[in-house]
Amino acid sequence: MWDWRSQPLTVPSVIAMLIGAVVILLLALGVVTYTIYVQRRILGWMQLRIGPNRVGPLGLFQTIADVLKLLIKEDVVPAKADRALFMLAPIIAFVPSFTVMAVIPFSAHNVFTANLGIGVLFYLALSAITIHGVMLAGWASNNKYALIGGMRSAAQMLSYEIPLGLSLVGVVLMAGSLNLNDIVLAQQHAGLWNVIPQILGFIVFLIASTAELNRTPFDLPEAESELVAGYHVEYTGFRFAFFMLTEYMYLFAMAGLCATLFLGGWSGPLLPGWLWFAIKVFLYIFFQFWLQATLPRFRVDQLMTFSWKVLLPLALVNLVLTGVVKAIW
């Protein structure tokens, strides 16, 4: 197992780390680009239409064209906006979304993974920072829709952080470690993916992560039909692209987390580890798109009630059950 921390901090190792980060960034960007493409194709298929098929073969370059368009668009900062915060917000939102990739083990040889002992906590802590970016964006835009969207987003992400965190604790108890690599190894060792013994936790995780990602049916912060676009309504061009990037980056990261924690990560028979990981990630992402094509949106108060009165008790029950079973075994 490769471990960055055991390497001495020399010039070549720093350069290697930098290269590693760039490679991961490029990988993540590639995944995001084609996640968006796949999303549009899947939604198109589910909604009796075709989806993008014009730019490049099968429309494969559609997202690239969209990104290019966003990059060359005028960068508008509203006159009454809080300029400094307005420009800072997308960065605050994006940086953690990329940083969390550091702890996700992509494959058995995970060269590019920081083998952190507190991997799960690291993920939760960093992803919470994005909320600040979203809230700041809503506030700095000086737009009522953006403000409401930002506030809703903050309230929602905070409320769902708790069941999400608790649902992970069950897995952590099973493996006896917060290190994501160890969790994968524990599953491999047990010969059983956590999704089966932790089914309750998995359900809570699935729901809470959907809410964390602001995806249907929890897409209130950017409810098109109510808030126009939520917190990023005033953003254009590159800054808007950053918010979109953040969103899909988290989708990828959350899928990675789900695969690692509940579906055995890169472990699996026959196929190479990275392919198993990719398949599991894709399953999670597909599930999200499927939800998006199927469900209407929750109402904001129902959303909160659901988190505190349903998910949180469920997560606690799961935690207690896991603890009891673990103690008896």
Partner 1 sequence: MSLIDEKDQVRTEEMLLNLGPQHPSTHGVLRLLVKINGETITDVEPVIGYLHRGTEKLAEDLQYTQIIPYTDRLDYLAAMLNNYALCHTIEQAMDLEVPERAEYLRVIVMEMQRVASHLMFIGAYLLDLGAMSPFLYVFADREQIVQLFNEICGARLTYNYMRVGGVKWDAPPGWLEKVADFVQYLKQKFHMYDELITGNEIFLARTRGIGRFDTETALAYGLSGINLRSTGYPWDLRRKKPYSIYDRFDFDIPVGQNGDCFDRYYLHLLEIKESLRIVEQALKSIPSSGPVLGKVPKMIRVPAGEYYSGIEGARGELGFYIVSEGKDKPYRLKIRKPSFINLQLLPELLRGQSIANVIAILGAVDIVLGEVDA
Which residues, in sequence order, are CB contacts of 154 under 8 Å at separation 6+?
131, 134, 135
Longest alpha-carbon distance in the chain:
64
Binding of partner 1 by 29 (CB under 8 A): no
The nearer residue to partner 1, 160 or 262, going by C-beta atoms, is: 160
116-150 burial code (b ≥16 CB/10 A, e <16): beebbebbbebbeebbebbbbbbbbbebebbbbbb
Asked whether 140 and 149 are in contact (CB, 8 A), the reply is: no
Q: Mask: binding to partner 1, 264-303, rule CB under 8 A, as x and -?
A: ----------------------------xxxxxxxxxxx-
Output the smallest distance, CB 301 to partner 1, in A: 6
Candidate list 144, 189, 309, 326; residue touching partner 1; CB under 8 A = 144
Asked whether 289 and 35 are in contact (CB, 8 A), the reply is: no
Q: Mask: binding to partner 1, 201-230, rule CB under 8 A, as x and -?
A: ---------------xx-xx--xxxx-x--
The nearer residue to partner 1, 53 or 107, going by C-beta atoms, is: 53
Exposed, middle or buried, 55 (CB in 10 Å: 0-12/13-18/19+)? middle
Candidate list 9, 11, 48, 79; residue touching partner 1; CB under 8 A = 48
Output the smallest distance, CB 113 to partner 1, in A: 36
Binding of partner 1 by 43 (CB under 8 A): yes
The nearer residue to partner 1, 293 or 317, going by C-beta atoms, is: 293
CB count in 10 Å sphere of residue 5: 9
Cα three-residue angle 214-33-249, rounded to 5 degrees:
40
Cα-to-chain-centroid distance, residue 255: 6
User: In the window 78-107, what residues touch partner 1 (CB under 8 A)?
Assistant: none
The nearer residue to partner 1, 77 or 291, going by C-beta atoms, is: 291
Residues that bind partner 1 (CB under 8 A): 43, 46-49, 144-145, 148, 216-217, 219-220, 223-226, 228, 292-302
